[in-house]
Amino acid sequence: MDSAALKRTLARMPYAQSLGVKPTEIDGVFTLLMPYIESNIGNFSLPALHGGAISGFMEIAAISQLILSTDHASLPKPIGINVDYLRKGDLKPTFARAKIFKQGSRIANVHVRAWQEDYDDPIATMHGNYLLPKAE
């Protein structure tokens, strides 16, 4: 695991900074954190986080996991993603972990889980296919 590479990657991703995304570790496992910030709200009256902020956060988690498990200088490109929203995102810190189900030479399949207080009660899940940069 190359956490310096991940920090460099997030630093060149202004979108991740706009969402407030930070890398962290929980029980020794790499986890991405999106702290609660007001600009991530999608609905004031519920209130709830914006579904787009949650899916964007999970997309960053997928790319981060690919950066950690490959040594490419350029970033993987999303081909397609599918997000299931399981419950509303409360105005609380949100966590995400990604798992690579298959990594070929050109394509990777990644699954992501996002949760708030309870890992076993996720607020959203995502799976996506990514085009990997050509090996240098």
Partner 1 sequence: MADDYIKKLWEIAPAITDAVPHSKKLGIRFVAIDKGRSTLSLPYNPDLIGDTETRVLHGGAVSTLLDQACGLAAVASFDIPKSCATLNLSIDYMRAAVPGQTIIATAECYKATKHIAFMRAIAYETDEEDPIAVAQATFMATQNTAAGNDAFKKDTA
Q: By the criterion CB under 8 A, which residues form the site for partner 1?
A: 12-19, 38-44, 46, 49-53, 55-57, 59-60, 74-75, 77-85, 88
Asked if 133 and 74 count as a contact pair (C-beta separation under 8 A), the reply is: yes
Alpha-carbon Rg for the chain in angstroms: 14
CA distance 125 to 59: 11
Q: Return the number of the residue (28 or 131) whose C-beta is nearest partner 1.
A: 131
Q: Element (H or E) spanning 67, and its range? A: helix 51-69
Q: Give least dist CB 105 to partner 1, A.
A: 20
Q: Give least dist CB 81 to partner 1, A.
A: 5
Q: Give least dist CB 27 to partner 1, A.
A: 27
Q: Return the number of the residue (27 or 38) whose C-beta is nearest partner 1.
A: 38
Q: Give least dist CB 28 to partner 1, A.
A: 27
Q: Return the number of the residue (56 or 122) whose C-beta is nearest partner 1.
A: 56
3-state secondary structure of 37: coil
Q: Return the number of the residue (18 or 24) whose C-beta is nearest partner 1.
A: 18
Vertex 49 angle, CA 5 and 63, to 5°: 20
3-state secondary structure of 117: coil
